[in-house]
Copies of this chain bind each other. A is one copy, B any other.
């Protein structure tokens, strides 16, 4: 019996090792290379670097060596250098730190996987952002807010017992340079800071440490009150201050390299200092003071919008900009890339160019809350590239990405969802990387592709974000999603009694005259929050980039855009192009079939089918709805609807935020 079990076990493990189920992510290199690697360092981190190379490196001998080289000393400690020495007969990886050596090892393996020339290597790499952090919106009950890849990785019930996934997670992150993780949802449970949970967090931190990953926690600002330990959570109250000091001390006793706190305060119902008549700065500073002795930081989110008359796009600026200069040096204001909320396309948040005396960090969303969940292929690097075109990364020290990771075998639900995790890590290290380069890097490591397939798929990836924008919300449209789950279209949505700024019509403003939100100087004047030159550019309907035109202007239906199309024509053009692009993606995927293992081929094919179906749904819903205002016919060239507006209005997906929908397209309706 024992033997049978053993056999079964081996079989399963082998199967697991060989199956192309996406579980190995981009770390699929053979593990039988037996390279010659020299490393005199004994730290766990250095030994991991050595082992990784020994397993997978197939080239000349490698030496891993810490140095105090003066060029490297000018750079952050985790920087590294890779050089071919002795006429290419050996490769040396140097760094000031052990983690730098590990990053260098992964870099070298990446070069091997992407068939780069390693003959005359001489690379020095250094991260653009010091803190490259994943945010998990994971609840303690393992549901993941806006997660579409199963449950939370963190099994709080079983911890401190370990899952093999914890180390795999750390390794994957280290391989792309991510060095921090916020374990829990910004809508944080006070329970997170109880001793019971902190002891579990300690265990995870221990697993992550050798991979250079610091642990952070989201905190509920009212925790001392909520746990019944202090009668208030007023940040100026001495008991409160003391409570936090003690709590921080307790944490650091368990986790000496604990990273700090992430706080969502006075936003969407979360408690915060304003509940006690204090400012965001007073609240953040109190926590910062508690963390300061341990070099911990506070990441204080600027995602706030009260139910006021002010244009929602202006509110974070209005609330935070006046506080510029009032924050402690270990507070970083964490600002979403755009002024609203992770839409498929937004202009950048004007806070990035208006808080000169405060450290800021961008919060990007890796999970596709607004981009088709884990059903749609949407490579987000082009969106982030666009952001970095206008927001200089070198003004900031940290960056956060809301992750798309869960318990699904392939980690992210969609195999191509892994590429967004990968891209976040790579851009956090080097924001000047282009989408095309990142796509190719990821593809080469994730599949075994011949050159033509690599080109086909990298093109598909690079176009995919624009395709989603096209079929969901082109020309600067935003927030016309279905109520709650943000998956399907619902530009007509009207929930009695709901906040106006949660309704699509607040954003699209469709009427007989035209479409779009007038944020120009004659409207809400949100343009004034941008630097003068951009303000001018956006304010003028003739110069405003077409991709933002409905974000900043209420545009007449027959207004001629820069493309020469009227607004109505352009709207039809983009929605149609989005659908046609999804069809192209289906063909592209079919074309590379022989390069892809059967399992992942079928999985992705299924997702692409759903994506096209959804793209048609979006196109039909939005164009038919907006047509009730424009009263204009569809231009000749574009595919006609296959749905009726009235039928689409009846669609109720009935999905919650945590789930990814599957849509049945044909059903009886009698």
Taking Cβ atoms with an 8 Å cutoff, the residues of A that contact B are 488, 583, 586-587, 590-591, 593, 606, 608-609, 612-613, 616-617, 633-634, 636, 639-644, 647-648, 650-655, 659, 661-670
Contact = CB atoms under 8 A, between A and B. Distances in A.
Given A633-B590, A633-B593, A642 B654 contact: no
Contacts of A654: 668, 670
A609 B623 CA distance: 14
A220 to B, nearest CB: 31
Contact of A667 (B586, B593, B639, B651): B651
A647 B633 contact: no
A-B CB proximity, top 3 nearest: A664-B669, A586-B640, A613-B642
A547 B652 CA distance: 43
Given A590-B633, A590-B634, A634-B590, A652 B668 contact: yes
Contacts of A653: 668, 670
A666 B641 CA distance: 13
A587 B636 CA distance: 7
A655 B661 CA distance: 27
A651 B633 contact: no
B651 A666 contact: yes
Contacts of A650: 664
Contacts of A613: 642-643
A301 B153 CA distance: 70
Contacts of A659: 670
B666 A617 contact: yes
Among the interface residues A586, A642, A666, A667, which one has the most CB atoms of the partner chain B within 10 A? A666
Nearest to A585: B640
A617 B665 CA distance: 9
A326 to B, nearest CB: 48
A586 B641 CA distance: 9
Contacts of A648: 666
A644 B590 contact: no
Contacts of A616: 642
A606 B613 CA distance: 19
A652 B639 CA distance: 28
Contacts of A651: 666-668
A475 to B, nearest CB: 23
B661 A664 contact: no
Nearest to A589: B640
6 contacts: A609-B641, A647-B664, A651-B668, A659-B670, A663-B666, A665-B667
Contact of A644 (B606, B617, B655, B670): B606
A196 to B, nearest CB: 34
Given A654-B670, A659-B670, A612 B665 contact: no
Contact of A609 (B633, B643, B664): B643
Contacts of A663: 666-669
A661 B666 CA distance: 12
B665 A665 contact: yes
Contacts of A606: 644
Contacts of A666: 488, 617, 643, 647-648, 651, 663-665
